[in-house]
Structure 1
Amino acid sequence: MSLADTRSSISQKRPAARPEVSLANARRIVHDLLKPNPVIYWTDMLVSFTIAATAFHFVRVCPPFSLAQIGLFMLSCLMFYRLAMFIHEMVHMRAGSFTYFRIVWNILIGIPFLMPSFVYYTHLDHHRRKHYGTDKDGEYLALGQNGRWQMIGFVLSSVVVPIIVVFRCLVLTPLTWFSPKLRKFVYTHASSMVMDPTYIRPLPTEQALRIMRLQETACFLWCLGFAIGVLTFGKFPFPVLLQAYLTSVTVLTLNAIRTLGAHRFDNDEGEMTFLEQLLDSINYPYRPWITELWGPTGTRYHALHHLFPSLPYHNMPEAHRRLMEQLPEDAPYRQTNRVTLISGIIDLWRRSKEVERRHAAERRAARQAKVDSTVG
């Protein structure tokens, strides 16, 4: 059944929708799993960073295009990808908690990769029931309704994003110190990690603004220090820069492909109910030795994440197992599971293609009607 069919059946039986999604019952099942374990977070981050940095270094030592070099490059990309996805965990952590973890993550990953944690604050709008799937949700595009070129463009944007980000940090950041008008534009149009390029970020609060300024200044100084080092020593480190760029593109592409399978992306009609939001999200609980590579730190359990946004990633497999065992057979949560990411993306591609065909047929019919009216 398609999401549209599901919506239709839901709208016809709206009074019965509430008991079908018993959030209280689901919370009772996983209540003891909602507390994050700092030891796991710190160990995972530090071990992943050690592996990523070591592999990144030895890529340039290996013979060019050898199996060892390719293997080490992919290993470093996968580990940096895992590290980058901790930004998703941090935005859902309780305010004032994991302070040193946030600081160290920004020092090791956020600043060097020019993706400080403030660029993901807007992710919380993706979880607001009245914002999800609307123009206030920067992480949602109606890909299933807008044609395949939007999907292709979204993935290919990974090639240019690193260049845009460097320009934002190195050039636009210092200019915002002198131009309030430019500062407002940059904060609303160029300070968010989102899917929708037309998304307009709400202006930050004073407290958030202080954090943003601190982190963007650190990114600017990182870029400036690199540039000064090149000018001082007169040696342009092209191999390192090329590797850093290719690593960034690979990480962004992996995340873009994962994102294509995170939702069904069928909504283009405004606000959705909680049940519709849940059914629009997808879990990939099977084959963890593969799914954990492209969906690290719990991102492969996206429907579960929308059910319990603050559930720590290390407890998601157990939470999913309990819910599948204890929820009723007709629980909507059971409809959110898929086996492979490829099947999710193929389904999205086919639905998008069908929309293209329907729109093309409508255009042909409109043209024919215009010709007939002219002849008549």
Structure 2
Amino acid sequence: MPVTSPETTPKTAIAETSFSFHQARSLIEGLGQPKAWIYWTDFLASIITGHVAFFLILGLPRQYPNSSWAIAGAALAYVVTILAYMRALMFIHELVHLPKDQFKGFRIAWNALCGIFMFVPSFLYYPHVDHHRRKHYGTEHDGEYLALSHNGRWMIVGFIAQAILIPILGFARFAIISPICWLIPGARKWVHKHASTMLVDPFYERTDVEKKDVMRIVVLQEVLVFAWCVVFATRYYFRTGEWFNPLWVVAYSVGVGLLVLNELRTLGAHRWTNEHGEMSFQDQMLDSVNYPHAPWFSELWGPIGTRYHALHHLFPRLPYHDLGRAHRRLVAGLPADSPYHDTIAPSLTSEIASLWRRAKASESSQSFRDLWARLSVAKSR
């Protein structure tokens, strides 16, 4: 490894030399074993609460029409539904990181009680592992990354505004596109590459279409979601003779609410500063954020360990129920000048505000570059 002087060494490289992965690993010794009873209890409590609150949104006004307290109760039920479903849904993140030969019953239960009903079966999240590959993070091979700090504020606005369309597109993906893949085999490859992943980067292309074990799961889950789509679209008609189901409005509203909350969480998960290809492992950690403060509140918008995103990138195999304890050990045990401390943000709003300012600054920089380019062209003429 070449020797460099402080004058020629990038700041990120200096920061990297001050961080000891070995020391961090020793500080979390004894953690890392996922506890099945925690997963089952947490998930079942979350999904059952969400389902009950969901039906109260429509049921309270129906049961007590023209009642102001029923409307207030429905509004409260909407908030509870979003928070409970958000927690239940985020277990999809744990499924990717759990040992493949373990928790098989939990994987089935999650899909049966949550993923299938919300049009997000677990196969959509398999490519998440690319987000944790050092050579892929922040590059075109990472479907969960965009250089939001360098692309202006409209990209941030658009990232949130897409929540209006995604529930409809999610339904169409399984109700319309899945049968097309079954009937026209040639369509499968394109659909799997471009329309079978939960992602941030719309240009990401999935690469596991040739894996037969993956495709068997994909087709099985597609069939189950398609069957649910048929029930969801026709059940009310066969019960009442009317096509329009008021439950669709509730489901769409809940879907939009969930997506907006998740997109706000995602905006604060990283600092989105990479635009130059591959990053070092250290830079990846520093580009990610931890929110240890106000745990009773931050756990609502960043459940199942997602509020410790930098720590998760440092130790992706660490189960969510150990992240809080691991973070406290690292903060107490690492040196005061450790780069790990720079991953801590005071709040989600402050981090999103910082992202907004960086995106705004990039607009000014881009405008200057565009003006300079136009002047250069004019001068050459």
SS at match of 1:70: helix
1:10/1:17 contact within 8 Å kept: no
Give the alignment of 1:157-196 within 5 angstroms. 157-196=162-201
2:49/2:84 contact within 8 Å kept: yes
Which structure 2 segments of 5+ residues have no match? 1-5, 62-68
State which of 341, 349, 352 in structure 1 corresponds to 2:356.
349
1:118/1:212 contact within 8 Å kept: yes
Q: Which residue of 2 aligns with 1:116?
A: 121
The alpha-carbon deviation at position 320 of structure 1 amounts to 0.5
Residues 9 and 327 (structure 1), Cα distance of their counterparts in 2 relative to 1, 3 Å cut: farther
Is 2:55 aligned against 1:49?
A: no
Is 2:98 aligned against 1:72?
A: no
SS at match of 2:216: helix
Q: Which residue of 2 aligns with 1:60?
A: 58
Give the alignment of 1:270-285 within 5 angstroms. 270-285=277-292
Aligned partner letter, 2:47: F
Q: Distance in 1 between matches of 2:11 and 2:316?
A: 27
Give deviations 1:222-246, integer Å, cap 9, x for gaps. 1123334244332335221110111
Aligned partner letter, 1:27: R
How many percent of aligned residue pairs carry the same amino acid?
A: 45
Q: Distance in 2 between matches of 1:226 and 1:173?
A: 16
1:283/1:338 contact within 8 Å kept: yes
The alpha-carbon deviation at position 373 of structure 1 amounts to 5.0
Q: Which residue of 2 aligns with 1:221?
A: 227
Give deviations 1:284-315, integer Å, cap 9, x for gaps. 10001110111000000000000011111111
State which of 294, 299, 304 in structure 1 corresponds to 2:311.
304
Is 2:111 aligned against 1:89?
A: no
Q: Which residue of 2 aligns with 1:3?
A: none
SS at match of 1:126: helix
Q: Which residue of 1 aligns with 2:258?
A: 251
Q: Distance in 1 between matches of 2:161 and 2:100?
A: 35
2:15/2:339 contact within 8 Å kept: no
Aligned partner letter, 1:34: G
Give deviations 1:66-107, integer Å, cap 9, x for gaps. 322111111011100111100011110011111111100100
State which of 9, 27, 30 in structure 1 corresponds to 2:28.
30
Q: Which residue of 2 aligns with 1:212?
A: 218
1:111/1:219 contact within 8 Å kept: yes
2:285/2:310 contact within 8 Å kept: yes
Give deviations 1:255-301, integer Å, cap 9, x for gaps. 00110011110101000000110100000100011101110000000
SS at match of 1:94: coil
Q: Which residue of 2 aligns with 1:154?
A: 159
Is 2:322 aligned against 1:319?
A: no
Aligned partner letter, 1:161: I
Q: Distance in 1 between matches of 2:228 and 2:301?
A: 29
Q: Distance in 2 between matches of 1:10 and 1:114?
A: 51
Q: Distance in 1 between matches of 2:292 and 2:358?
A: 23
Aligned partner letter, 1:41: Y
Q: Distance in 2 between matches of 1:13 and 1:242?
A: 51
Give deviations 1:343-366, integer Å, cap 9, x for gaps. 100101101100101111222233
Give deviations 1:130-164, integer Å, cap 9, x for gaps. 00000000000000011111111111111101111
RMSD: 1.9
Residues 245 and 349 (structure 1), Cα distance of their counterparts in 2 relative to 1, 3 Å cut: same
Q: Structure 1-normalised TM-score?
A: 0.93
Q: Distance in 1 between matches of 2:341 and 2:321?
A: 21
Give deviations 1:38-70, integer Å, cap 9, x for gaps. 111111111112211111111113349832211
Q: Structure 2-normalised TM-score?
A: 0.92
SS at match of 2:178: helix
323-332 or 121-130: bigger deviation = 323-332
Which structure 1 segments of 5+ residues have no match? 1-7
